[in-house]
Structure 1
Amino acid sequence: MTLLERCLGRLASELADYSPEMLFDLKKEASEALATAKANVDWIDRALDLRYSHIAAQQRLAADKDTGTVTFTDSDIRVSVELPKKVEWDQAQLSRIVERIRAAGKDPVEFVEVTYRISETRYNAWPASLRTSFDAARTLKTGKPIFRLSSPGDET
């Protein structure tokens, strides 16, 4: 039984009392198990793609759709294959279209959703006097903390 298996089900507060070396070993073992699991999922997904992608493509063609979910059976197994739609818009072209709409005397907001963004790198490079005028529109949110443990001599 591995160290990780022995610790499964324990409260996080109990693990927090473990030595740094033990936490390091647990984190390393869990990360390796996750990497292996992800590799296995990718491998199986590739096999599923090889087996079912042509059937799904035929089903979508028959339904006259390029994307979306199709469902069929193989033996006693129900197979659903989703091909998500991912739309990207050319920002420069959209900007020109918005200007043409505005020049024609219409409100582009009726047709186009406009989102403003500022690169954090650029924002941080601005002089304080410029940043101040934007500060009221800026909200900083944080994500989940990521902990990386290493032992002396580790390259990673």
Structure 2
Amino acid sequence: MNDLTIFPADIAEMSVSQLAALLPEQKREVDKNLDEALDWLKKARAKFDAALDQCYGEQARAALRESGRDFGTAHISDGPLRIKFELPKKVSWDQKKLKAIAERIVASGEAVESYLDVKLAVPESRYTNWPPALQQQFADARTVEAGKAVFDLSLGQEA
């Protein structure tokens, strides 16, 4: 293969039209370079975040506890550096137990929506396997939209 030299920094300076006009080999190189850059950035970000946690995490968590909280935002300092530490609360619910609770609420005659956010969904794989008569009953409730297009580039010898 030729020595191609289009790097992410070059791409930032190019217009969409210029990128679209690149040769196929150059488009593949841009695609590969961007994927590699993203992978590198994700790994570098994870490593640096781990370093920040190692350096400041305990101090920041202690600041949260001192303010009577386990989650939220704390501000700490390291000399001239000011650090805003955010520790979000992540809540998950046991779906089987929630379903049982919802059934008890309905059985008691109350509206389940007063207590729970209810979202009904039909898996597309299930819907497409239904007989047409059943699909027709659900058709008015179904909206189909295009998702984000994905392009996977390879050159002839890579395929």
Q: Give the TM-score, by structure 1 length.
A: 0.89
The percent of aligned pairs where both chains have the same amino acid is 35
Q: Which residue is equivalent to 1:61?
A: 65
Q: Which residue is equivalent to 1:3?
A: 6
The equivalent position to 2:123 in structure 1, one of 111, 119, 125, is: 119
Q: Which residue is equivalent to 1:15?
A: 19
Which ranges in structure 2 are unaligned for 5 or more consecutive residues? none
Deviations 1:75-103 (A, max 9, x none): 11111111112211112111111221222
SS in 2 for 1:133: helix
Alpha-carbon distance between aligned partners in 1 of 2:135 and 2:90, rounded to the nearest angstrom: 34
Flag the 1:141–1:52 CA change in 2: closer, same or farther, 3 A: farther
Alpha-carbon distance between aligned partners in 2 of 1:106 and 1:129, rounded to the nearest angstrom: 33
Q: Report the alpha carbon displacement of residue 54 of structure 1 after superposing the two structures with TM.
A: 0.8
Deviations 1:56-88 (A, max 9, x none): 211121122221111111111111111112211
Q: Please, what is the CA RMSD of the aligned residues? A: 1.9
Deviations 1:12-57 (A, max 9, x none): 1122111111111111112112211221111111101111111121
Q: Report the alpha carbon displacement of residue 105 of structure 1 after superposing the two structures with TM.
A: 2.3
Pair 1:142-2:146 in alignment: yes
SS in 2 for 1:3: coil
Alpha-carbon distance between aligned partners in 2 of 1:118 and 1:108, rounded to the nearest angstrom: 20
Higher mean C-alpha deviation, range 119-128 or range 73-82: 119-128
Amino acid corresponding to residue 98 of structure 1 in structure 2: A
Q: State the number of aligned residues.
A: 155
Q: Report the alpha carbon displacement of residue 7 of structure 1 after superposing the two structures with TM.
A: 4.2
Flag the 1:8–1:110 CA change in 2: closer, same or farther, 3 A: closer
Higher mean C-alpha deviation, range 2-11 or range 21-30: 2-11
SS in 2 for 1:147: coil
Alpha-carbon distance between aligned partners in 2 of 1:97 and 1:59, rounded to the nearest angstrom: 37
After TM superposition, list the pairs within 5 Å mapping 1:43-62 onto structure 2. 43-62=47-66
The equivalent position to 1:29 in structure 2, one of 30, 33, 55, is: 33
Amino acid corresponding to residue 76 of structure 1 in structure 2: P
Alpha-carbon distance between aligned partners in 1 of 2:149 and 2:93, rounded to the nearest angstrom: 32
Alpha-carbon distance between aligned partners in 1 of 2:34 and 2:110, rounded to the nearest angstrom: 57
Which ranges in structure 1 are unaligned for 5 or more consecutive residues? none
Q: Report the alpha carbon displacement of residue 140 of structure 1 after superposing the two structures with TM.
A: 1.9
